[in-house]
Amino acid sequence: MRVKELAAFLEAPFEGDGERVLRKVAALADAGPEDLSFVTGSQPGKRAAASAAGCLLVSSDFDNVDRRTIVRTAHPRAAVARAISRLHPKVEAASGTHPSAVIGPGAIIEPGVHVGPLVSIGAGVRVGAGSSIGAGCVIGDYVSIGEKCTLHPGVTLYRDVTLGREVVLHAGCVIGADGFGYVLTDGIYENFPQIGRVEIGDRVDIGANSCVDRAALGVTSIGDGTKIDNLVHVGHNCRIGRNVVVAAQTGFSGGVVVEDYAVIGGQVGVGDKARIESRAVVGSGSGVLTSKIVRAGQPVWGTPARPLKEHLEQLAVLSRLAKQRKKEKPR
């Protein structure tokens, strides 16, 4: 792809050699004369000057003192993500069902679906057009998979799970396993039957080895556009809203509500029936206590999670106490 073609695709102005051919996207430090890269953050001019990239995606106010070949855009990182789709197009799996796959009675496989080797598809399943089911996936009875979904190898969907359009489930995901529900009766824990469902909206991505439990009664739901990292656990009856971002190793206990556009850092623990309101930010390693409400737009940190300003003030107090104690120690 030539620079001027990339600029037209991105609907952004370019400067320099529009005929230069770009073959791939590379990190700034590793890029060569036929590579595209991008510059963000502090000292963009200094970082750009040290790179051999053939073309750079830069911010609109970038000072191009070296007269490099650049494409100006308001959001270079977002622009490079779009450029990757052109310079590194996704390899689509060929449609068709592998001979080793097992298809249950009444299953409907729409046109253009790829079903890989050793896949098991249960009774009454519907797989939407253009979806891809990787090797070794297990799809339980009466599952509904929307159009253009991608299930990477080794995904398990228990019965009565619904996926929207363009959902991506990475290897080892388990969707619809029983929630952690037990009743203590006469000193013995007895299972509380988990007979609910899981519903996942459109354009949801769920990382490798993450688990979403079915509801005890009702629905565990994940809204449109939400992105969940690897090794995340979503407990029974949780309701995760739209365009939520959840980093790795976070766990949601049963009945948690996370509203739209919230951001949850890595290794966060969220107690039963807690509520994280819209656009709140929960810092990495935080603990949100049972039934706690994190208010809309509020950044919180620590265990127990509290407003970031309060958390930082407490850290400062502890630091001063430690210094004072050190001064008071007898020599």
Instruction: Write out the two tokens for 216.
Output: 């005890």
Q: What domain count does the chain have? A: 2
Could you tell me if residue 104 is inside a domain?
A: no
Query: How do strand 239-240 and strand 182-185 relate by DSSP bridges?
Result: unpaired
Give me the pLDDT at residue 330, please. Answer: 67
- Confidence at 326, pLDDT banded by 50, 70, 90: confident
pLDDT score at 331: 60
Q: How confident is the model at residue 128 (pLDDT cuts 50, 70, 90)?
A: very high
- pLDDT band at residue 119, thresholds of 50, 70 and 90? very high
How far, in Å, CA of 176 to CA of 189, rounded?
A: 22
Least reliable range by pLDDT among 20-34, 45-59, 112-126, 312-326: 312-326
The CA distance from 111 to 32, in Å, is 42
**Of the residues 61, 87, 113, the one at which a domain ends:** 87
Residues 80 and 210 in one domain: no
Q: What is the CATH classification number for the domain harbouring 228?
A: 2.160.10.10
Cβ density class 91-128: b for 16+ within 10 Å, e for less: eeeeeebeeebebeeebebeebbbbbeebbbbebbbbb
Assess whether 69 and 196 both reside in one domain.
no
Question: What is residue 224's predicted lDDT score, i.e. its pLDDT?
Answer: 98
pLDDT at residue 229 greater than cutoff 90? yes
Q: Clarify whether residues 78 and 164 are in a common domain.
A: no
- For the four alpha carbons of 95, 96, 98 and 102, in that order, the dihedral sign comes to positive
Between residues 168 and 317, the one the model is more confident about: 168
Question: Does the structure show a pLDDT above 80 at 172?
Answer: yes
Give the mean pLDDT of the chain: 94
Domain end residue (candidates: 68, 87, 106): 87
Alpha-carbon span 137 to 213, nearest angstrom: 17
Same domain, 57 and 174: no
Q: Kindly report which listed range (38-52, 71-85, 116-130, 226-240) carries the lowest average pLDDT score.
A: 38-52
Would you say residue 216 has pLDDT above 70? yes
Identify the domain boundary among 32, 66, 87.
Answer: 87
User: Looking at the structure, do residues 167 and 301 belong to the same domain, yes or no?
Assistant: yes
CATH number where 20 lies: 3.40.1390.10
Q: Assess whether 37 and 162 both reside in one domain.
A: no
Does residue 45 fall inside a structural domain?
Answer: yes
Regarding whether 163 and 83 lie in a shared domain, the answer is no
pLDDT(182) > 80: yes
Does 236 qualify as catalytic in the annotation? yes
pLDDT at 212 over 90: yes
Q: What local confidence, expressed as pLDDT, does residue 271 receive?
A: 97
Query: 114, 152, 233, 236: which one is catalytic?
Result: 236
pLDDT of residue 44: 83
| Whole-number pLDDT of residue 313 | 80
Any idea which of 69-73, 273-277, 327-331 has the lowest mean pLDDT? 327-331
Residue 1 predicted with pLDDT over 80: yes
In the chain, what percentage of residues exceed pLDDT 90? Answer: 82
79 part of a folded domain: yes
Q: Which domain holds residue 42?
A: 3-87
Section 192-201 average pLDDT: 95
Whether omega for the bond prior to residue 89 falls within 30 degrees of 0, making it cis, is: no
Let me know if residue 55 belongs to a domain.
yes
pLDDT, tens digit, 9 for 90 and up, residues 8-34: 999 999 999 999 999 999 999 899 999
Q: Does residue 269 carry a pLDDT above 80?
A: yes
In a domain, 245, yes or no: yes
Distance of alpha carbon 122 from alpha carbon 105, whole angstroms:
7
Structural domain includes residue 321 = no
Cα 151 to Cα 239: distance, rounded to the nearest angstrom: 22
CB-CB contact of 36 with 53 (8 Å): yes
Q: Is the pLDDT of residue 203 over 90?
A: yes
Mark whether 176 and 272 lie in a shared domain.
yes
Question: Is the pLDDT at 126 greater than 80, yes or no?
Answer: yes
Domain match, 75 and 170 both:
no
pLDDT of residue 279: 98
Beta bridge partners of 157: 139, 175
pLDDT greater than 80 at residue 327 = no
Backbone angles phi, psi at 38, to 5 degrees: -145, 160
Domain membership of residue 210 (yes or no) is yes
Same-domain status, 82 and 202: no
The reply to whether 175 and 279 lie within a common domain is: yes
146: in domain: no
pLDDT tens-digit map of 88-104: 988 888 899 999 999 99
Q: Are residues 82 and 189 in the same domain?
A: no
